[in-house]
Amino acid sequence: MILQPPPTRFVLRGALDAEQRDFLDTFGFLHFRGFASPAEVEEIRASLRAIEADWTQSGRQYVNGIPIRYGTGEDGAKLVNRFAFTSLFSPRLREFLAEPRWEAVRLACGEQFRLGDREKDGVVVNQFINVPGSRYKRLGWHVDSLRDLFYGRLPQPMLNVGLYLDDSHRDKGALRILPGSHRQGLFKMLFGKWHFIDHRDDPRETILEADAGDLTLHDGRAWHRVGRALLTGQASLRRTMYVPFLTGPYEPKSETSPVPFYHRFGKVLG
């Protein structure tokens, strides 16, 4: 029996307090409200539009060995479904990530963590849209830590920190988490569900409903998915920015970095 979490939205002020730590340990995620202001969210959206225009026009396929996922928007226009290393293309975004409040996020993860803006996939932005022809209407059940296994090591402690750039309530599909599943052990992490293929509702899932500017933090070992929006068209647009906080050896990527194995078949599953 999985305990359902209360819909608590915390305020981030620094390292986690005892109540927040307990919530994270029990359920595998935390939700903070009002981390970025509406003006900041709008600035980030503007940066994304500029990067998207640049990449679509120049036909860029990869950043530092990570494929950019393209898709179709409302009017049939090409759009970016998944940005990688986003902050490297926006001085405004780098300035925002240098704000002292990100130090509070880092400390919330733990003293030994660092913001990995040049590692793994860097700062990732997802754009989900529910229109005919869109390839990013939803994302199946998965655990983020599985990627570690492709690097030939056991999953490292990792917290995925998401900044919401749109309101994301259940009409947008929203993030679904199996609360407590970060404590399930390796076997269930591997075989608990079919990674990315299974999109089914689970009676144990929690729907994480967030507003633009909210910040969420989830354990890389927890099962989660993004549901399909009930809304359609532009109203269904759901943008989230994921900032990696990492431990272990510093492993920056560059334009000569190889394409990781898990991204070679990602196009088929995504």
The residue ranges that bind Fe ion (CB under 5 A) are 144
Q: Are 32 and 101 in contact (CB under 8 A)?
A: no
237 lies in the site for ligand AKG, by CB under 6 A = no
Residue 221 interacts with ligand AKG (CB under 6 A): yes or no: no
* 73 phi/psi in degrees, rounded to 5: -95, -170
Please identify the residue of the shown chain whose CB is closest to the bound Fe ion: 144
Report the partner that residue 240 touches, choosing among ligand AKG, Fe ion, none (CB closer than 5 to 8 A by kind).
ligand AKG
What track of x and - describes contact with ligand AKG for positions 147 through 166 (by CB under 6 A)? ---------------x----
Residue nearer to Fe ion on the CB measure, 12 or 158? 158
Q: Is position 240 an interface residue for ligand AKG (rule: CB under 6 A)? A: yes
Q: If binding is defined by CB under 6 A, does position 144 make contact with ligand AKG? A: yes
Are residues 127 and 79 in contact, defined by beta-carbon separation less than 8 angstroms? Answer: yes
Nearer to ligand AKG, 106 or 225 (CB): 225
Contact 174, 226 (CB under 8 A): yes
Residue 19 corresponds to which tokens in the numbers above? 């109540």
Q: Judged by CB under 6 A, which of 20, 126, 127, 145 binds ligand AKG?
A: 126
Residue that the structure tokens 């733990």 belong to: 110
**Closest Cα partner for 181 from 215, 224, 145, 210?**
224
Number of residues forming the site for ligand AKG (CB under 6 A): 8
Distance of CA 193 to the CA centre of its chain: 19
Binding mask 170-199 for ligand AKG (x = CB under 6 A): -----x------------------------
Q: How far is CA 3 from the centre of its chain?
A: 24
Q: Is 72 exposed, middle or buried (0-12, 13-18, 19+ CB in 10 A)?
A: middle
Cβ 251 to ligand AKG, closest distance in Å?
19
- Element (DSSP H or E) covering residue 189: helix 186-191
Judged by the rule CB under 6 A, the positions of this chain that interact with ligand AKG are: 126, 139, 144, 162, 175, 224, 226, 240
